[in-house]
């Protein structure tokens, strides 16, 4: 079953015909929200609101391990994550959708692995290609079929937040090769890999990153809210098409 993790602007999947909800207890504590099981385009899917249903959990307080563990233990075999980002490079602009193919982790102070006990052998997982190519291809095909423009590829720079970046920090990230910046990509992406769940992300560009374009002097939160709202309609259509494509 496909899981959708919704971020800012997608705390509820209005297109989902809800069958039941479940609060899952995990060895890592409680997930951000109840898992919402239901049908979308005739397929079973499960939805999880990353920041809680009331959007009250900031990115650095999300219990990523509990979220991923809960999905793994409810028969999830693929995860499509939705996350809002800022555009670092001129290749994308507010309102655009990006399917990132690479990631750089700048976060700190987060529980970032399931393999941190001293009671078992050390485990290292391969993370060369952080996003699963099959699921990415499925999203690209769905976007094509639904006539939704998406950028095929992007380098997601994951930061801790909750504050936005300085212009100099964005300059550094651009020198590193990051093209978009967001606060929730890590450790979510790596934890999915540790659990062996194919994972891909739809990044919704909601602003020019600090020091870029219309954010040259400051990032406007009002503008972010406006862009987020309109872009999410597109995201919902895309998700439905991804699910249909698997039917």
The binding site for ligand HPA (CB under 6 A) comprises 84-86, 159, 164-165, 181-183, 206-207, 209, 219
β-strand pairing of 97-99 with 102-105: unpaired
Min dist CB 93 to ligand HPA, Å, is 13
7 or 31, CB closer to ligand HPA? Answer: 7
Q: Name the residue with the smallest CB distance to ligand HPA.
A: 86
Comparison of 70 and 181: residue with beta carbon closer to ligand HPA: 181
To ligand HPA, the closest distance from the beta carbon of 207 in angstroms equals: 5
Min separation Cβ 218 and ligand HPA, Å? 11
Cβ proximity to ligand HPA, 40 vs 190, nearer residue: 190
* Alpha-carbon separation of residue 189 from 108, 134, 224 (angstroms): 15, 15, 24
Q: Of 144, 154, 130, which Cα lies nearest the Cα of 202?
A: 154
Report yes or no: 164 and 219 within 8 Å, Cβ to Cβ.
Answer: yes
Q: What is the dihedral of CA 67, 49, 63, 210, to 10 degrees?
A: 130
Dihedral over Cα of 187, 189, 191, 194: its sign: negative
Q: Is the Cβ of residue 45 or residue 164 nearer to ligand HPA in the bound state?
A: 164
């Amino acid at each position: 079953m496909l899981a959708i993790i919704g971020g800012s602007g997608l705390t509820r999947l209005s297109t989902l015909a809800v069958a039941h909800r479940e609060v899952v207890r995990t060895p890592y504590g409680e997930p951000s929200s109840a898992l919402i099981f239901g049908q979308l385009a005739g397929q079973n899917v499960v939805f999880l609101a990353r920041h809680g249903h009331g959007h009250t959990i900031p990115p650095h307080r999300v219990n990523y391990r509990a979220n991923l563990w809960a999905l793994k233990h409810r028969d999830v075999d693929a995860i499509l994550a939705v996350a809002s980002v800022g555009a670092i490079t001129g290749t994308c602009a507010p309102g655009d959708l990006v399917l990132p193919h690479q990631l750089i982790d700048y976060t700190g102070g987060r529980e970032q692995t399931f393999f941190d006990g001293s009671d078992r052998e050390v485990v290292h997982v391969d993370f060369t290609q952080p996003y699963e190519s099959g699921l990415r291809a499925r999203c690209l095909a769905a976007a094509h079929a639904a006539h939704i423009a998406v950028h095929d590829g992007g380098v997601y720079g994951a930061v801790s937040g909750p504050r936005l970046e300085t212009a100099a920090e964005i300059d550094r990230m651009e020198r590193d090769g990051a093209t978009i910046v967001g606060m929730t990509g890590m450790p979510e992406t790596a934890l999915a890999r540790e659990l062996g769940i194919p994972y891909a992300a739809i990044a919704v560009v909601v602003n020019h990153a600090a020091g870029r374009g219309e954010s040259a002097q400051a990032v406007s939160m009002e503008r972010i809210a406006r862009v987020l709202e309109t872009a999410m309609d597109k995201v919902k259509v895309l998700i439905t098409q991804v699910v249909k494509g698997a039917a």
